[in-house]
Each structure stands twice: as C-alpha cells, then as structure tokens.
Amino acid sequence: MAIAVGQAAPEFTLKDQNQKEVKLSDFRGKNVVIVFYPLDWSPVCTKEHTCLVNDMKRFDQLDAQVLGVSVDSVWSHKAYAEKMGIPYSLLADFQPRGAVAEKYGVYLADKGITGRAISIIDRDGKLAWHKNYDIPVVPGIDEVAKALEGVN
C-alpha cells in the first residue's frame, strides 16, 4: 500500500551505480525527488532520463536532489549512467527485488519491475508529493518542477 502525502517517507539504504551506499536520511534538510522507473535501457525510461538530465539546472536551482530507483543491478546502472551522462545516483532496488519500491507502493510484483512514479520528499523527510504514471508515459518535468516549487 502506498504511503500518503504528509507521512514520513520510508527510510532506505541502496547502492548506487558506483557501489556507494545511499540513504534517504543523508539528504535531510534538502528536498529529494525520487524517480521510480521500470528498467534501464527501455525506450520510455531513456526518454525520461534524457529529460531529467537536460533539466538538471532546474532541480539544482530548487535545491533538490534527484535519485533514480529501479530493480536493475548496480552494474546495469553504471553502464546506463555512463552512456546517458546521468549525474545523479541510480539506486539498485535489486535484492530483495523491489523492496524499496514496495514501501512506496509502486512495485509491480506481477511484472517484477518498478512502476513509473515520482515522489518528492521534503526537507523534514515527509512525502510532499507523489504521482503514479502509466508505464508508457514520460512524466512531465514541468509538472514535477512546479510541485517541487510548492514544497520550497
């Protein structure tokens, strides 16, 4: 079951593409945009990350940390981040598969992948905004940035 806006965001520790452990609590005092996406290398996810990379300046201006989360391995994330020029952490929700996505209510167990969703965690560690998207839909960065502006 998904958490509700206003609730404390579930804590997690996952490895990024550089095998560094990343904890949500490391970003307390800063807004965090968690981008849940199905799979590295898929066409829609690639478009989504291209949009994020191209608009990183907006997230920087809003003092927000972007984190990508999918069930892919650290090694897949490493190759994907290098190929795509992704400057933010891609977190491997790999073992147990989808455990963090499950806490946020976005793991699709029947497909074995993370659903497409974006969560904004405020400076105090609470869920400030969340939206689920259909798998073939690229989330609108303008919509996310506007929601983020409302959190600041």
The two tokens of residue 108 are 């699709």
Residues linked to residue 91 through DSSP beta bridges, in sequence order: 69
Q: What angle do CA 45, 48, 50 make, to 5 degrees?
A: 110
> Is there a contact between 99 and 81 (Cβ–Cβ < 8 Å)?
no
Q: Which of 82, 69, 74, 88 is nearest to 18 (CA)?
A: 74
Catalytic residues, by residue number, are 45
Contact 48, 138 (CB under 8 A): yes
